[in-house]
């Protein structure tokens, strides 16, 4: 059987205008249409649903409930998989990833690279909200970043299914205080404290369109009240992170103790003892 989709990396199709790149720099986010094709998205949905069905990577801490305590017998309200392409490498040979590599250079310059992927499923009718946060709040506070996430819903997204909302210009400030969602240290997900969302904009997307947001842009997604899954596939791009001159602490990371990190640590220790 010949299946070129599985063996050949497509040529990128996105060439951002200066106007679009200026808008990203000003607002901290950008919408791009035609990032993938209906045929590719259909194939990606099949792979995606299979990974979540199998809970791929759960034993090493790559699959977990972003918004809950993540106990084994809990129904996950916001399942996430880190690096789904580790479990389905064909995801890296998509037009979407080819376009991610291309816009990394267009927005960040020659040192801009595609850095990896993750996936957040908002299950039909009960998927939980993703509270306001800045992605950088999850990361190592000793480094400086210039990066963005490309957020691609595999069948579009509406306000009702959980599209992203952004606060324009919020990427120009510092990382603001966060806490584990609901103040529960067992929860992996973070929420920013004291967000003024009066200037927030919701960005519904049709199939094949994406939003791009900077690592400090405040963003949010509502719960999924529709009868369809909201499948977000997220591609991360950045310049190499550099050591910070000014030290800082992310206290919210120090208080967390998640089942996910315990599984990841156990898997690392078992790997070392082999
Ligand atoms: Ni985020």
pLDDT at residue number 5: 54
Mean pLDDT of the chain: 95
How do residues 227-253 score in pLDDT, each as one tens digit? 999 999 999 999 999 999 999 999 999
pLDDT at residue number 257: 93
**∠ Cα 210 216 220 (to 5°):** 55
pLDDT at 78 over 90: yes
What is the mean pLDDT of the segment spanning 26-41?
98
pLDDT at 1 over 50: no
pLDDT at 222 over 50: yes
Ligand 1 centre distance from Cα of residue 3 (Å): 34
Ligand 1 centre distance from Cα of residue 135 (Å): 5
Ligand 1 centre distance from Cα of residue 8 (Å): 30
Q: What pTM was estimated for this model as a whole?
A: 0.95
How do residues 181-202 score in pLDDT, each as one tens digit? 999 999 999 999 999 999 999 9
Ligand 1 centre distance from Cα of residue 217 (Å): 9
pLDDT at 52 over 80: yes
pLDDT at 216 over 90: yes
Ligand 1 centre distance from Cα of residue 137 (Å): 9
Count of alpha carbons within 13 angstroms of residue 64, beta-carbon side: 23
pLDDT at 2 over 50: no
């Amino acid at each position: 059987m010949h299946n070129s989709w599985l063996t050949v990396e497509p040529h990128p199709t996105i060439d951002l205008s200066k106007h679009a790149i200026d808008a990203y720099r000003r607002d901290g986010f950008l919408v791009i249409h035609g990032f993938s094709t209906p045929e590719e998205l259909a194939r990606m949905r099949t792979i995606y649903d299979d990974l979540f069905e199998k809970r791929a990577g759960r034993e090493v801490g790559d699959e977990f409930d972003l918004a809950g305590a993540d106990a084994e017998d809990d129904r996950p309200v916001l399942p996430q998989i880190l690096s789904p392409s580790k479990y389905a490498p064909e995801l890296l040979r998509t037009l979407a990833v080819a376009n991610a590599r291309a816009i990394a250079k267009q927005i960040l310059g020659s040192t801009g690279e595609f850095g990896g992927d993750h996936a957040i499923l908002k299950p039909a009718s009960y998927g939980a909200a993703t509270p306001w946060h800045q992605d950088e709040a999850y990361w190592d506070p000793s480094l400086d970043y210039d990066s963005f996430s490309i957020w691609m819903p595999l069948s579009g997204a509406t306000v009702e299914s959980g599209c992203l909302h952004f606060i324009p210009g919020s990427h120009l400030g510092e990382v603001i205080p966060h806490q584990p969602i609901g103040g529960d240290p067992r929860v992996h997900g973070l929420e920013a404290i004291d967000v003024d969302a009066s200037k927030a904009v919701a960005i519904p997307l049709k199939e094949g369109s994406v939003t791009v947001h900077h690592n400090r842009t405040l963003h949010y997604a509502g719960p999924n009240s529709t009868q369809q899954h909201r499948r977000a596939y997220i591609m991360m791009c950045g310049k190499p992170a550099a050591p910070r001159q000014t030290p800082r602490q992310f206290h919210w990371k120090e208080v967390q103790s998640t089942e996910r990190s315990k599984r990841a640590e156990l898997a690392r220790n078992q790997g070392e003892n082999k």
